[in-house]
């Protein structure tokens, strides 16, 4: 795994739309087939987790001094992900280029808000950490994600890097539940190059 240097990380903006795009309608179709249960406020669906949490026959890994970069365990796709060909295609795309650790669906109820907070380890400039990418799947104009008090104009199917070690919050004033997929990656030269391209070039469909 490539080490995150502060010098490299600080060269990146606090938000970058990567030059990669996915078909949000196909991803949403997979999610609808999961027949997820109703929820209140906020719901997290793990799609890729530490292996011992997916398969209880796998021994727990030894304790670690640092869990931030995901190297403390092996990771495994959930049955829900394995049975979702379009979502799985996204993960396979990233897995072909770098190490994928935690993958989740994040659902936010209509009329809800997430208070401003920080995630101290989720930024490219943090030494020995993962980079979290966000793919909106179901959203609308009245769902506002604020980063450093400025709206990030994320649209379904886009792929974003957000410097989540900075203050961020969400206001959902729309009419349908918001669904994002987050993908945690161990950074390498491929990812760094795509972050660089994202600041300067057009996106491509995957």
- Which tens digit of pLDDT belongs to each residue from 32-47? 999 999 999 999 999 9
The answer to whether position 126 is within a domain reads yes
**What is this structure's pTM?**
0.90
- Which tens digit of pLDDT belongs to each residue from 158-194? 999 999 999 999 999 999 999 999 999 999 999 999 9
Q: Interior CA angle at 151 toward 157 and 173, to 5°?
A: 80
Query: Which tokens belong to 92?
Result: 């396979």
pLDDT tops 90 at residue 1: no
Count up the domains in the chain and report the number.
1
Q: Identify the domain containing residue 119 by its residue range.
A: 6-35+81-200
Q: Write the CATH number for 97.
A: 2.60.120.330
The answer to whether position 66 is within a domain reads no
CA dihedral sign of residues 184, 190, 196, 202: negative
Lowest mean pLDDT among 50-54, 71-75, 198-202: 198-202
State the angle between helix axes of 24-33 and 85-95 in degrees (0 to 180), rounded to the nearest 10: 120
């Amino acid at each position: 795994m490539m080490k995150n240097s502060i010098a490299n990380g600080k060269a990146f903006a606090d938000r970058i739309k990567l030059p990669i795009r996915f078909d949000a309608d196909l991803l949403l179709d997979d999610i609808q087939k999961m027949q997820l249960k109703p929820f209140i406020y906020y719901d997290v669906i793990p799609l890729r987790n530490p292996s011992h949490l997916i398969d209880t026959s796998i021994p727990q890994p030894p304790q670690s001094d640092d869990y931030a970069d995901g190297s403390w365990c092996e990771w495994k796709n959930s049955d829900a992900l394995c049975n979702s060909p379009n979502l799985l295609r996204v993960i396979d795309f990233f897995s072909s280029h770098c190490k994928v650790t935690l993958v989740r669906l994040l659902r936010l109820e209509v009329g809800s808000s997430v208070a401003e907070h920080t995630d101290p380890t989720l930024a490219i400039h943090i030494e020995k950490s993962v980079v979290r990418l966000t793919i909106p799947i179901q959203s609308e104009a009245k769902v506002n994600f604020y980063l450093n008090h400025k709206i990030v104009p994320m649209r379904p199917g886009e792929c974003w890097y957000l410097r989540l070690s900075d203050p961020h919050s969400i206001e959902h004033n729309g009419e349908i539940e918001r669904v994002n997929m987050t993908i945690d990656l161990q950074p390498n030269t491929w990812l760094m190059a795509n972050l660089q391209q994202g600041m300067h070039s057009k996106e491509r469909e995957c």
